[in-house]
Amino acid sequence: MIALCMACHFGALQATYAPKTEPVDLVNPFIGTSNLGTTNPGAICPNGLMSVVPFNVMGSDENKCDKDSRWWSTPYEFHNVFFTGFSHVNLSGVGCPDVGSLLLMPTTGKLNVDYKEYGSHYKDEVARPGYYSNFLVKHGVKTEVTATLRTACERFTFPKGESHLLLNLGEGLTKESGAMVKQVSPTEYEGMKLQGAFCYYAQAVFPIYFVMRVNKVPQSAGYWKKQRERTGKQAEWFPDRGQYKLYTAYQKEMAGDDIGVYMNFNTTDDEVIEVQMGVSFVSIANARENLNAEQKGKDFNTIAQETHQKWNADLSKIEIEGGTKDQQTIFYTALYHTLIHPNILQDVNGQYPAMESNRVLTQHEGNRYTVFSLWDTYRNLHQFMTLVYPNRQRDMIKSMISMYDESGWLPKWELFGRETYTMEGDPSIPVIVDCWLKGLRGYDINKAYTAMKKGATTDEKSNPLRPDNNEYVEKGYISLRDSFDNSVSHALEYYIADNALSRLAAALGHKADAKLFYNRSMGYRHYFSKEFNMLRPILPNGKFYSPFNPLQGANWEPSPGFHEGNAWNYTFYVPHDIYGLAKLMGGKKRFIEQLQSVFDRGNYDPTNEPNIAYPFLFSYFKGEEWRTQVLTHQLLQTYFKNSPEGLPGNDDTGTMSAWALFSMMGFYPDCPGEPAYTLTSPVFDKITLHLDAQQWGKDKLVIETRRSNPQAVRIEKMEVGGQPWTAYRIRHSDLVKAGTLKFILK
């Protein structure tokens, strides 16, 4: 059966190779669904709240994933084969489990509500933007799903006989299993499901509300509840504990842990039953209003086509010519992945849950966004949104500032109105600064500056953003107080944030602050060890940590001072002072040798963010720019493929995909908070970016590349706006007003 399903999967992949004419048809949603990419092939609108995803990470010994889905950060893994339903509202490309619940499953035969028994292998899997389908072998059911911004539409084609729809409210990726559900009519249910504990932060718990409608009255219906397991004498007295108990429909509602709804039908051959699901993070009434507003008068095909068109419109913002079909597919799938998160949060009436509060507020214009994985996305995804989708990025900045209004702090890793405090640093600062310095306006920058300064200066006892701020402010570094406390990683993130804050302070006329935060950003020098020519943890007594092994931390092992990496992955992570770091290392030659050795020795780790800008650092030095050009092409070919394993690791809500997009287009924002890019050689012959003329003054940027031979990747000449260009960095203002960017490769 595994071989059968694998063949079906790759059959779906092969379909993407057929001739295409539209960008949407070049997307392969299966890219990144294995190799811990944690993307999924489910149906979603661009930046939509609702996503409907096949759930296959629990319930079968044949699955590669752990049978307990709550240990996994994705509802779907390409090589798994055991389907237990469609989950509603999911995360894409993250490294921790959460949400991925409201599991809807069609079954046939005798009613069984145990997911380990009703789950099914599947075949004939198809996925494209806004649509997913498979065939459940065990039940003989064809499944199809699509989505609007806040709702799902699902179509199931049943065989003749006894059939069922099961809504499992206990299982999912969240560690929470509590829920409530109520029958409103024979064809409608409403309720809520608890979710939360992202990255095991127990405080970030929140409800999702739903309304579900079925287009056929079931013959009978009811609820189930899994009985609590007992030990000792209680196990003897209550032998049914751990089993599922059924409740008939005269009981109008059910609440508790591990509950669900069943609906029984007697279907004819190829009978179609459709299900609509609306969700809200505010209330059941809003979930119903979302459903009514977004699906009234529409059928499944209409919704799927509208979503398809929305994706094509967004993806068509960038047109490409040349390259291989695989490269085109990799490009447009990366663009697709960057347009999933952050996603909207407000309901159709504008209401949304306030940040870290039980209040409900109303968005009066634009969108309120959520899922800010900022430790990842501050490096490139928001820069990409600023360039290509500036109105969305403006709303994201406004959302971040509103979070400060509501909670007193800018976000760090926000999730549906709750702060998870995942990872480190103060990543809102470079995102907002980058936008402002590039000329993106329409928000209160002075309020934002006040919020940034609060996070940078508040005592650590009351500072959730910088929990080790006192020593950082006093000494300019953070010492290693525990063997694995990530002290160097924390400080490096603060240096980048403070450098960006210094740039904004200068732009706003706060000269003293600009000097203060600039000086702070140079504190990385404390960590520089001449003995190793690298950054090295410092002990509380001011001495370097010893014995020091720069490789410790590879392959996800714990590392003193460094988070999810080692000294090789972090030493060059001072993008705001590359020349200063080179001077510490003994000059250009030593710097280039040390940086090149990262790649030559296999110490570059593309699965995590701190070193992803390394390839572009060569271009800071005259005569070494060719290394950037050669490396970016090598890394694209090595780590980005048109296959399920086509990402080097977690997509991190679009960050790795944004790296690929920029690299394939020929420029990259390697210093967050600085409105500039490093140039490299593009992959395609012609790239047309359709810009927002009102924002950037030009309606397009055309990037053209001529090659002396098909393998040519080194830049011989460049032109910007028709004029010769010899620098390998370009400011954002020069890029957007250029109109044309031309490369000649040798």
Mean pLDDT of 309-333: 98
What proportions of the chain, in percent to the nearest 5, are helix, strand and coil?
35, 25, 40
> In three state form, how does the secondary structure of 382-448 look?
HHHHHHHCHHHHHHHHHHHHHHHHHHCCCCCEEECCEECCCCCCCCHHHHHHHHHHCCCCCCCHHHH
Instruction: From residue 277, give the alpha-carbon distance in Å to each of 169, 194, 214, 289, 701.
Output: 14, 17, 9, 11, 41
Give the pLDDT band of residue 248 (cuts 50, 70, 90): confident
Count of CB atoms situated within 10 Å of the CB of 731: 15
Higher pLDDT, 576 or 246: 576
Q: What is the pLDDT of residue 64?
A: 52
Residue 603 has pLDDT above 70, yes or no: yes
Give the pLDDT band of residue 340 (cuts 50, 70, 90): very high
Mean pLDDT of 222-229: 86
Q: Give me the residues paired with residue 566 across strands.
A: none
User: Whole-angstrom Cα distance, residue 703 to residue 719?
Assistant: 10
Q: Which two tokens stand for residue 108?
A: 């046939």
User: Whole-angstrom Cα distance, residue 390 to residue 407?
Assistant: 26
Q: Give me the residues paired with residue 257 across strands.
A: 178
Nearest Cα to 613, choosing from 704, 676, 522? 676
Give the pLDDT band of residue 250 (cuts 50, 70, 90): low
Could you give the angle at the alpha carbon of 272 between the alpha carbons of 270 and 274, nearest 5°? 160
Give the pLDDT band of residue 8 (cuts 50, 70, 90): very low
Mean pLDDT of 575-599: 98
Give the pLDDT band of residue 60 (cuts 50, 70, 90): low
Q: What is the pLDDT of residue 243?
A: 80
pLDDT > 90: what percent of the chain?
87
Report strand pairing: 141-147 vs 259-267: unpaired
> Cis peptide leading into 207, omega within 30 of 0?
no
Give the pLDDT band of residue 555 (cuts 50, 70, 90): confident
Q: What is the pLDDT of residue 16?
A: 45
User: Whole-angstrom Cα distance, residue 279 to residue 287?
Assistant: 4
Q: What is the pLDDT of residue 69?
A: 46
178-199 per-position pLDDT tens digit: 999 999 999 999 999 999 888 8
500-535 per-position pLDDT tens digit: 999 999 999 999 999 999 999 999 999 999 999 999
| Residue type for position 742 | K
pTM for this structure?
A: 0.94
Q: What angle, rounded to 10 degrees, do the helices at 655-665 and 625-639 form?
A: 130
Mean pLDDT of 27-48: 97
Residue 681 has pLDDT above 90, yes or no: yes
Residue 66 has pLDDT above 70, yes or no: no
Domains of the chain, earliest start first = 25-313 (2.70.98.10), 317-745 (3.30.2080.10)
Nearest Cα to 575, choosing from 674, 671, 675? 671
Residue 304 has pLDDT above 60, yes or no: yes
Q: What is the pLDDT of residue 244?
A: 84
Residue 586 has pLDDT above 70, yes or no: yes
Report strand pairing: 343-344 vs 205-214: unpaired
Mean pLDDT of 149-171: 97
Mean pLDDT of 472-497: 94
Give the pLDDT band of residue 580 (cuts 50, 70, 90): very high
Q: What angle, rounded to 10 degrees, do the helices at 445-457 and 390-407 form?
A: 50
Nearest Cα to 400, choosing from 458, 463, 453, 444? 444
Higher pLDDT, 253 or 449: 449
Q: What is the pLDDT of residue 4?
A: 35
Q: What is the pLDDT of residue 554?
A: 82
Q: What is the pLDDT of residue 1?
A: 32
196-211 per-position pLDDT tens digit: 888 866 677 899 999 9
> In three state form, how does the secondary structure of 281-330 look?
CCCHHHHHHHHHHHHCCCCHHHHHHHHHHHHHHHHCCEEEECCCHHHHHH
If you ran DSSP here, which 8-state letter would residue 15 be given?
Answer: G
Q: Which two tokens stand for residue 94?
A: 């993250």
What is the secondary structure of 579-637 as a DSSP string? HHHHHHTTSHHHHHHHHHHHHHTT---TTSSTTTTGGGGGGGSTT-HHHHHHHHHHHHH
**Length of the chain, in residues:** 746
Residue 239 has pLDDT above 60, yes or no: no
94-124 per-position pLDDT tens digit: 999 899 999 999 999 999 999 999 999 999 9
The phi and psi torsions of 692 (rounded to 5 degrees) equal -80, 105
Query: Across the chain, what does the average pLDDT equal?
Result: 93
Residue 246 has pLDDT above 90, yes or no: no
What is the secondary structure of 495-522 as a DSSP string? HHHHHHHHHHHHHTT-HHHHHHHHHHHG
Residue 432 has pLDDT above 90, yes or no: yes
Residue 10 has pLDDT above 50, yes or no: no
Residue 463 has pLDDT above 50, yes or no: yes
Residue 19 has pLDDT above 60, yes or no: no
Q: What is the pLDDT of residue 231?
A: 55
Q: What is the pLDDT of residue 62?
A: 58
User: Whole-angstrom Cα distance, residue 169 to residue 261?
Assistant: 8
- The answer to whether 195 and 292 are in contact (CB under 8 A) is no
